Amino acid sequence: MPNIKYVSSQGVEFDLKSFDCPKLYKADFHDVSWEPETISKQFGTVINRFTKDAQKFACSFRLKGDPTGRKNKINSFIFETERDISKMSPGRLFWDEQYIDVYFIKHDTKPIDSGMVWTEISGTFYAAFPFWILEQTLIIRPSEASTSGLPENVKGYPAEREFVYGYEYAYPYAKEAVAIKVDSALDSDFKAVIYGPATVVQFNISGHLYKVNHSLRNGQYMVIDTRDSVPMSKRCYIRSANGTETNVFNYRDPSSLLFTKIPSGNVVLNYERNYGIDLTIFQERSAPN
């Protein structure tokens, strides 16, 4: 049985498996459809491409406990989901480590009867981006020739780094090319965090060059994020040790399509290994596994 939870945009968490919170009773998370864009022919059609609409998940929750307790739990859940809507900031549904960003756009609660041992809420989650995400994070350290003065702890490079993920894979100093298996049927967005110092930022993934002609000082890092849901100011920028951020998108190399996704299957990341990279790949799925 998977672990299922809802986390509001404010970080309030509801365990949807436990009757201590609204417990998910049923939902159509695995109801998937793709829409073909076609041109009519005399016989049949020509398919130009497939699209996927925003997804709606009908669901119902059941709550146990005394009527007052149930009412408080319902109010808490509805308050958080409506606060997400008011802030235009989605909550997040988790199925084990996979997640999808959603709004709870419709709900109906049956009257609480003191003679009943549970109360049911029916409602609908709305996902503007209709894919579940599984993050794969790789921590790549500099090669042996570039490690002078750097910490030895793999997960602490650098020790004060702010980006922490649950599933990390570290690669040793000596290896230059890093083999990666992207377990997704679709091409994947990614976020790369590149730690200075560096004279120029560039790396290659399966023959595609990612390059920004801007240096990094010691204590700075650059973020490259290919997701179009991220504000442009946060898609290619440098953060300094004092917290200031500088947009460096205009410094991208003319030969580099900076926001190209990573293809599925077995890929290779290659660069000179004179600085460290944290690479997070956002693997997309139509339904949770």
Could you tell me the fold of the domain covering 4-130? Elongation Factor Tu (Ef-tu); domain 3 (2.40.30)
Residue 136 CB coordination number (10 Å): 21
- The Cα 29–Cα 38 span in angstroms is 27
Is the domain spanning 133-285 CATH 2.60.120.880? The answer is yes
- Predicted confidence at residue 187, as pLDDT, reads 94
Mean pLDDT value across the chain: 84
Segments making up each domain of the chain, as ranges = 4-130, 133-285
22 burial class (0-12, 13-18, 19+ CB within 10 angstroms)?
Answer: buried
Note the pLDDT tens digit of each residue in 227-264: 998 999 999 999 999 999 999 999 999 988 999 999 99
Q: 247-251: long-range contacts (C-beta < 8 A, 24 or more apart)?
A: 248/212, 248/214, 248/222, 251/212, 251/213, 251/214
Of 40-49, 69-78, 175-184, 233-242, the range with the highest mean pLDDT is 233-242
* 20: confidence class by pLDDT, cuts 50, 70, 90: low
pTM beyond 0.85, yes or no: no
- Predicted confidence at residue 23, as pLDDT, reads 67
Mean pLDDT, range 179-203, rounded to an integer: 93
Give the rounded percent of residues in the chain with a pLDDT score beyond 90. 51
Note the pLDDT tens digit of each residue in 117-145: 778 888 999 999 999 999 999 998 887 55
* 152: confidence class by pLDDT, cuts 50, 70, 90: very low
Owner of token pair 């990666």: 180
* 201: confidence class by pLDDT, cuts 50, 70, 90: very high
Mean pLDDT, range 150-178, rounded to an integer: 46
Task: Take residue 286 and report the two structure tokens written for it.
Answer: 């139509």
